[in-house]
Amino acid sequence: MKHKPAMQPLNKNMQNATNKVSASISPENNLNILSPLEINALLAKRGTALYETFRRCALAVLNCGNLEDDTKKVLDAYADFEINVIQQSRGVKLELLNAPPDAFVDGTIITGIKEHLFATLRDIVYVDSVLNQSSRINWNTQEGTTDSVFRLLRHANVLRAGEQPNLVVCWGGHSISRKEYDYTKEVGYQMGLRGLNIVTGCGPGAMKGPMKGATIAHAKQHLKEGRYLGLTEPSIVASEPPNPIVNELVILPDIEKRLEAFVRVGHGIVVFPGGAGTAEEILYLLGVLLHPKNIDIPFPLVFTAPASSGEYFKHIDRFIHDTLGEEAQSKYQIIIGDPQEVALTMKREITTVEDYRRKHKDAYHFNWLLEIPRDFQQPFEPSHENMSALELKADIHTFALAANLRRAFSGIVAGNVKESGLKAIEEYGPYQIKGDLAIMTCLDDLLRSFVQQGRMKLGTGAYTPCYQVIRH
């Protein structure tokens, strides 16, 4: 039986003078998941902010493998890129105009990229047409937000009831040295040999390395269902397109939902060297774990780096000690230069997680028992006013200070790589971050170490700080 190809040229000369590609693509059977009402809702919003979000996320997915972290350059290079949703009786297909040529091989779109395109459509439409429109869901409450994160992950078939805990979240920088990247691969390899699967932010660097190592280990162990789950959000995906190894992609509505998804689905977290984004993730998790209701909940957390980068976590550890105290330090282990020990620690500690959840009748696939305060769920808009107003004082509760420090780093990430942040810095100048003298001194020291180590952006160009640290 002759099958109709999934991609059909719109014309005989698919590639124009600039090598861009135009094509129409249809999903595989398991991706025909949109109803006519959902499709019509998206079609009706062509030209709106929702449609532009979808267009930009789609362009990022098609730009897979490009290490350019300047969102403006990518958007300018493909300013004429368009994506049209075409309704069919049995689902939907996408019409691409002036798409990046590297997404195609001999005129056919790469299968993984095609799946990610439809995952992008799935998530953006589901949030807008279902979650935002449901009278039963209230994003403004703690329970409603968690329920929405659960529903989005369930809709993406990420949550698998009955599977034993084995998902390790890996955090770390997109701009790391070759030695650090090879180390992340070796850690991923050692974890993969022990049947552990990988969750990352789905970008390059420390997000790609563990997945790459795990694929080799899973192949050696003949594990055919290896999972390489990428969790991202619209404003970051344009500067960090999914790496080629991601085989499950979920786009959460914002950074806070993305962070909650990480800690709800992960059974343990390994952190590699990074920059402001990695510090943001660390502070988010420590803030959650320091909440009084979470003190006794096991959550394996390991900081690790090659021996040549051991100083990185000395800076992080000192910063945590001087701002959040010894209790925060007790929530993690630091393992330097020993990938096998990292994997053994994760495997052992995840057994503790399994025992705890079984005893307390919590699900293996979603950590319902973990208390995530409302302050950690509310989207933070890194405007100049909001950044300046952050309460960075020693006399507030430790988990609240962690939340505000997390927001400070979130703003720095926005000012470094996100289009909205870049525009704000260009128009109004650097963010001003204010607080107690001791805390600001610690923050300034840490940020200076990131700059000196080249951890603030991709590429080799000089870094211009998007912030000013002001001591009271």
Pick from 350, 344, 335, 347: nearest CA to 183: 335
Q: What is the mean pLDDT of residues 296-310?
A: 97
Residue 282 lies in a domain: yes
In this predicted structure, what is the pLDDT of residue 33?
A: 60
Residue 1 lies in a domain: no
Q: What's the CATH code of the domain at 399? A: 3.40.50.450
Asked which of 169-178, 222-231, 327-336 is least confident by mean pLDDT, the reply is: 169-178
Q: For residues 171 and 283, state if they share a domain.
A: yes
Q: For residues 125 and 236, state if they share a domain.
A: no
In this predicted structure, what is the pLDDT of residue 69?
A: 55
Pick from 444, 424, 426: nearest CA to 434: 444
Residue bearing the bigger pLDDT, 59 or 77 = 59
What distance in Å separates the CA atoms of residue 271 and residue 262, rounded to the nearest whole number?
A: 13
Residue 418 lies in a domain: yes
Return mean pLDDT, the chain.
88
In this predicted structure, what is the pLDDT of residue 140?
A: 85
Q: For residues 329 and 409, state if they share a domain.
A: yes
Identify the band that residue 170 occupies on the pLDDT scale cut at 50, 70 and 90.
very high
Residue 469 lies in a domain: yes
Residue bearing the bigger pLDDT, 175 or 340 = 340
Place of tokens 């529903």: 151
In this predicted structure, what is the pLDDT of residue 458?
A: 58
In this predicted structure, what is the pLDDT of residue 109?
A: 92
Q: For residues 169 and 226, state if they share a domain.
A: yes
Residue bearing the bigger pLDDT, 322 or 136 = 322
Residue 455 lies in a domain: yes
Structurally, the chain folds into a number of domains equal to 2
End-to-end CA distance of the chain: 75
Reading the block at residue 254, the tokens are 């914002």
Residue bearing the bigger pLDDT, 251 or 134 = 251
What distance in Å separates the CA atoms of residue 41 and residue 35, rounded to the nearest whole number?
A: 10
Identify the band that residue 296 occupies on the pLDDT scale cut at 50, 70 and 90.
very high
List the domain range (segments joined by +) for residue 298: 156-472
Q: For residues 189 and 104, state if they share a domain.
A: no
Q: For residues 18 and 52, state if they share a domain.
A: yes
Identify the band that residue 454 occupies on the pLDDT scale cut at 50, 70 and 90.
confident
Residue 320 lies in a domain: yes
Reading the block at residue 457, the tokens are 């952006």
Q: For residues 113 and 197, state if they share a domain.
A: no
- Asked if 342 contacts 189 with a C-beta cutoff of 8 angstroms, the reply is no
Residue 138 lies in a domain: no
Asked which of 83-92, 337-346, 425-434 is least confident by mean pLDDT, the reply is: 83-92
- Radius of gyration from C-alpha coordinates of the chain: 22
Asked which of 307-316, 388-397, 411-420 is least confident by mean pLDDT, the reply is: 411-420
Give the count of beta carbons closer than 10 Å to the beta carbon of residue 29.
8
Residue bearing the bigger pLDDT, 47 or 407 = 407
Q: What is the mean pLDDT of residues 429-445?
A: 95
Among 86-90, 259-263, 378-382, the range of highest mean pLDDT? 259-263
- Asked if 105 contacts 138 with a C-beta cutoff of 8 angstroms, the reply is no
In this predicted structure, what is the pLDDT of residue 29?
A: 53
Asked which of 91-95, 142-146, 387-391 is least confident by mean pLDDT, the reply is: 91-95
Q: For residues 424 and 466, state if they share a domain.
A: yes
Q: For residues 372 and 411, state if they share a domain.
A: yes
Q: For residues 124 and 208, state if they share a domain.
A: no
- Taking only the tens place, the pLDDT of each residue in 91-139 is 678 899 999 898 999 989 999 999 999 999 889 888 887 777 777 778 8
Percent of the chain topping pLDDT 70? 89
Q: What is the mean pLDDT of residues 160-175?
A: 92
In this predicted structure, what is the pLDDT of residue 5?
A: 40
- Asked if 107 contacts 7 with a C-beta cutoff of 8 angstroms, the reply is yes
Q: For residues 292 and 416, state if they share a domain.
A: yes
Pick from 160, 167, 62: nearest CA to 116: 62
- Statement: residue 8 has pLDDT above 80: no
In this predicted structure, what is the pLDDT of residue 11?
A: 36
What distance in Å separates the CA atoms of residue 349 and residue 183, rounded to the nearest whole number?
A: 21
What distance in Å separates the CA atoms of residue 153 and residue 161, rounded to the nearest whole number?
A: 12
Q: For residues 95 and 188, state if they share a domain.
A: no
Percent of the chain topping pLDDT 90? 64
Dihedral (Cα; 16, 21, 26, 30), 10-degree rounding: 180
